[in-house]
Amino acid sequence: MSLKDRIEKLEAEIAAAAAKTAEEVERFRVSMLGRNGTVTSLFEEFKQVASEEKREFGQRMNKLKQSAQARWEEMKSGIDQGPASEQGETDPTRPALGESVGSLHPISIVRQRIIDVFARIGYTVSQGPEVEDDHHNFSALNFAPDHPARDMQDTFFVEPLDRSNQEIDPAKVLALRTHTSSVQVRVMENSKPPIRTISPGRVYRNEAISARAHCMFHQVEGLYVDKGVSFAELKGTLDYFAKSIFGPNVAIRMRPSYFPFTEPSAEVDMSCSICEGKGCNVCKHSGWVEIMGCGMVDPAVLKNCGIDPDVYSGFAFGMGVERIAQLLYRVPDLRLYWENDVRFLEQFSDGAFRA
Ligand code: PHE
């Protein structure tokens, strides 16, 4: 019998399978999906399929395996009614259907883990508005009036939409916040050092949606301001963060970078947690992945927010939660986090990805 005929025959067998006792359920599993099971042995034969047919057969066989598994689970959970022809009266002793419990969204899980790591070293959580004014999102953070990040290309403006109107007070322009650094400006304006806080939240940028970019994502940004805060403390804090989330074997390194609100600024790389630095697709064979931006708060920013830069110094950092989730859960396509397909969402638990 050809492979195709055998697949069809098996499809029919799976659909018609019925089991009344736990032994019968187990017998079905062993005969189909066990090490020498019919479905399993088909996969052995797959090696011989001509390469131009591999795609089609591969798909059909995966489907077959999934339906065998699904059928087995149905029978196991006692909801199997058997083939329609054999259905008799309802058996009142049959166990009730299990109730399915919801699960946290993977981004919520990761965000909470990040918050917990910083809470342990004394960081509070601060929140602010998602519709933000120019002052908090840009000006106070030292973005020059003609900085490209203010451009329509990156920012979703809320009002006024026509910014060419000279009459409008630039500080009153409203936009969807492009980062949660805006929250840190609010905290600095409203409190006195020492300040140790993180601001988790949703941010928006006008990007085309693809597997690697989305027009909205989540950040956790951190801020520490006190007397004598040093770059060494920044590095120590981020090393502690990376090891707390990804385990004791990861290392971080810093590369000089530029942000208008920090000086000096750095990009933080972590040794690739997926291949342990050996090189893989995720780290593009470099052994390192970028995880966040950071730097010492620019004295001009402290001043803009009413903090005396001659007395105080500080550091700040900011990361994308999706990026951290991607490295933890190995989900390469960012769009999946927004589709809310329950089959995707229920795979995540507070511990790790149930692979
Ligand atoms: N706000 C920056 C961003 O959104 C991240 C950052 C925060 C960089 C703090 C340095 C210091 O990309």
Q: In this structure, what CATH number is given to the domain that contains residue 181?
A: 3.30.930.10
Q: Is any ligand 1 atom within 6 A of the Cβ of residue 316?
A: yes
Q: Are 303 and 312 in contact (CB under 8 A)?
A: no
- Asked if the model's pLDDT at residue 300 lies above 90, the reply is yes
Same domain, 64 and 128: no
Q: Is any ligand 1 atom within 6 A of the Cβ of residue 242?
A: no
Same domain, 204 and 281: yes
Tokens in use for 110? 């990761």
Domain boundary (87, 119, 153) is at 87
Measured from the Cα of 293, ligand 1's closest atom is 8
Q: Between 286 and 79, whose confidence is greater?
A: 286
Domain boundary (59, 87, 115) is at 87
Same domain, 110 and 162: yes
Residue 83 falls within a domain, yes or no? yes
Over residues 11-16, the mean pLDDT reads 88
Domain count, the chain: 2
- Asked if the model's pLDDT at residue 81 lies above 60, the reply is no
Q: Are 205 and 178 in contact (CB under 8 A)?
A: yes
Same domain, 78 and 133: no
Domain extent, residue 289, equals 106-345
Domain boundary (22, 53, 87) is at 87
Residue 355 falls within a domain, yes or no? no
Confidence (pLDDT) at 161: 64
Residue 184 falls within a domain, yes or no? yes
Residue 100 falls within a domain, yes or no? no
Residue 99 falls within a domain, yes or no? no
**Which residue reads 């009142």 in tokens?**
92
Residue 352 falls within a domain, yes or no? no
Same domain, 147 and 68: no
Measured from the Cα of 180, ligand 1's closest atom is 1
Same domain, 176 and 72: no
CA-nearest residue for atom 2, ligand 1, is 318
Tokens in use for 66? 């999934």
Q: Are 276 and 301 in contact (CB under 8 A)?
A: no
Q: Is any ligand 1 atom within 6 A of the Cβ of residue 323?
A: no
- Asked if the model's pLDDT at residue 83 lies above 60, the reply is no
- Asked if the model's pLDDT at residue 353 lies above 50, the reply is no
Q: Is any ligand 1 atom within 6 A of the Cβ of residue 204?
A: no
Same domain, 81 and 122: no
Ligand 1 centroid to residue 220 C-alpha, Å: 9
Confidence (pLDDT) at 355: 35
Residue 27 falls within a domain, yes or no? yes
Same domain, 64 and 163: no
Distance CA 113, CA 350 (A): 9
Same domain, 187 and 320: yes
Distance CA 175, CA 287 (A): 37
Same domain, 125 and 24: no
Over residues 272-300, the mean pLDDT reads 91
- Asked if the model's pLDDT at residue 157 lies above 80, the reply is yes
What's the count of helices (H) and strands (E) in the chain, helices before strands? 12, 10
Mean confidence (pLDDT) of the chain: 88
Over residues 304-313, the mean pLDDT reads 97
Same domain, 18 and 146: no
pTM above 0.75, yes or no: no
Same domain, 133 and 210: yes
Terminal alpha carbon distance of the chain = 35
Residue 350 falls within a domain, yes or no? no
**pLDDT tens digits for 195-248?**
999 999 999 999 899 888 899 999 999 999 999 999 999 999 999 999 999 999
Q: Are 245 and 117 in contact (CB under 8 A)?
A: yes
